[in-house]
Structure 1
């Protein structure tokens, strides 16, 4: 039998064995294998680290950045063992509270009428909670001592 025929026959037999092997694997194991293949592909197509330099200045709105592992920091699922703060998975340990060295006093109860707006007992509470970010943005400049008052349409919320 010629060498090429032997190779083709061996390759066909190997493929057949792979199919039988794959059928016998549990679904969970197959999912793990698929995930590893996906990660392997992601790593092979990953940008070089140098290409991340100043990437924000070349933003492409059509690109799917969520597929890039280096840009996706994930959800806040880790809890600090000292202060119970929510942290990102790869966030440095102790960053939030210096490993228990910084302790903050509990938040005080907000003054009236804020308390009733937050707890839902005020008739305007639902409107306030729906637009809380807009209200916060109206006052964000006051925290560093700005003294220019400029009324903008975004700070006038209609009910």
Structure 2
């Protein structure tokens, strides 16, 4: 259990960033990175969505391990926080989660609002999350500056 940062704080930061980048292992065995957007926090789980016709869905079926990284450059660039974590993807058929995502995301709403039960619309959550929230000024090998936020390790 993590004591320094909550799952809600991770979710709020992902919302602040807007778009994150998810790395998967491609069907060809090579890494693939693509934009992905965290959608909702429900049942103490971070939920995302995809389409079963996309390559990412097939990749996650074959190897459900991902890394996710996100950052939104702030005015004080060197203090800009960024997040990176690994996790395992779990697909689950949850209409309530589909509905919550459709209500939250303008993109998903435009695509699926009239097809809420379309079987290609897949939702998944992350488990075994292990990562860091740090800042651009925290660079290994350089002298640590007291005014910079300290990196925070988390596991959920």
More strand by share: 2
Asked which structure has the greater RCO (Cα within 8 Å, sep 6+), the reply is 2
Q: TM-score, normalising length from structure 2?
A: 0.18
Q: TM-score, normalising length from structure 1?
A: 0.18
More helix by share: 1
Q: Which one has a bigger Cα radius of gyration? A: 1
